[in-house]
Amino acid sequence: MLLPPPLEPTPEALGLAWISDLGTSTCVGPYQSAAVFLRARYQNTIGNYCLSMAVSIPEAVTFGREFYGEPRKHAKLIFERQDEYVWGSAERYEVRFLSLRGRMTDSAPTGRKQATYFTFKHSPRPDGGGFANPPQLVQINEDLTVQHAEVGRGELILRDSAHDPVSDIPVSQVIGAAYTEGHIYSTASVLCEVDPEAFLPFAFTGLDALDEIADSTVIRAQAARKGRDGRGRWRQSTNSAA
């Protein structure tokens, strides 16, 4: 189960992944972003739950986290197009955990569209004992003006990463791919406060695997030590009994 309560699954198990190139924004300027969503429902509202989001500049991380509660992380992003082919990827800690590729074959309708997605805004207590305040379920509404749109066939690749575990999502079929150009205006509101204990197991989406980061840092620091011969030296601490 990947949907935190009070979100509920919809009859069709659907997901959405995208990579975008924002030429400008009124908040932090131009940047690229990528995200993975799962279709969800809150009472009578159908939307997409934001499970993972990556952005190309640190300023965009702060804006999305502080205002909307999006699980944004800084990443290396690629978004390119050549003729009918479009591709992009998101990479963190040398793992390209999200890759999208598509071949656009047909035009699609343009005009005004609306989209809704959900996030959870929360922050930990300074002593690590739970949340500073009750987590909040946030609804983000997007007003899109699509000026150009194409559809076609696509491929989605989710790779294993301890820091971005999107590969745990079972993908049985890629329904299609789309390419759009236009403008997006977003607004957000708090739907409700959620039960801290019920939400706690799902509060990992905006965090990295800190234990692995610490282990890797120690290993690099130890390898950087050099002996008189100029070579790196590894240090290993062990407990043994014979």
CATH number for the domain spanning 51: value is 2.40.400.10
pLDDT at 229: 55
- Mean per-residue pLDDT for 6-10? 96
Token pair 């959620």 in the structure block, residue: 194
- Mean per-residue pLDDT for 50-75? 94
11-15, 112-116, 137-141, 212-216: segment of lowest average pLDDT: 212-216
pLDDT at 210: 76
Could you tell me if 114 and 143 are in contact, meaning their C-beta atoms sit under 8 angstroms apart?
A: yes
pLDDT of residue 112 exceeding 80, the answer is yes
Hey, what long-range contacts does 9-16 have (CB within 8 A, 24 or more apart)? 9/39, 9/40, 9/41, 10/39, 10/40, 10/41, 10/46, 12/39, 13/39, 14/38, 14/39, 14/175, 15/39, 15/169, 15/171, 16/48
CA distances from 106 to 19, 37, 176 (A): 20, 24, 12
Q: Is residue 236 part of a domain?
A: no
- Mean per-residue pLDDT for 102-111? 97
Q: Is residue 142 part of a domain?
A: yes
- Mean per-residue pLDDT for 63-90? 95
pLDDT of residue 239 exceeding 90, the answer is no
pLDDT of residue 139 exceeding 90, the answer is yes
Q: Is residue 5 part of a domain?
A: no
The whole domain housing 90 covers 15-223
Q: Is residue 233 part of a domain?
A: no
Residue 34: which of 74, 62, 3 has the closest Cα?
74
- Mean per-residue pLDDT for 66-77? 95
pLDDT of residue 95 exceeding 50, the answer is yes
92-101, 102-111, 228-237: segment of lowest average pLDDT: 228-237
Q: Is residue 143 part of a domain?
A: yes
pLDDT of residue 105 exceeding 60, the answer is yes
In this structure, what token pair is assigned to residue 146?
């699509």
Residue 121: which of 138, 98, 107 has the closest Cα?
138
pLDDT of residue 236 exceeding 50, the answer is no
- Mean per-residue pLDDT for 194-210? 89
Domain count, the chain: 1
- Mean per-residue pLDDT for 100-126? 95
Distance CA 37, CA 118 (A): 9
In this structure, what token pair is assigned to residue 207?
């965090």
Q: Is residue 232 part of a domain?
A: no
- Mean per-residue pLDDT for 158-165? 92
Distance CA 158, CA 50 (A): 16
pLDDT at 216: 60
Q: Is residue 148 part of a domain?
A: yes
Q: Is residue 8 part of a domain?
A: no
39-43, 132-136, 172-176, 234-238: segment of lowest average pLDDT: 234-238
CA dihedral for 70, 71, 76, 82, sign (positive or negative): negative
pLDDT at 230: 52
pLDDT at 215: 67
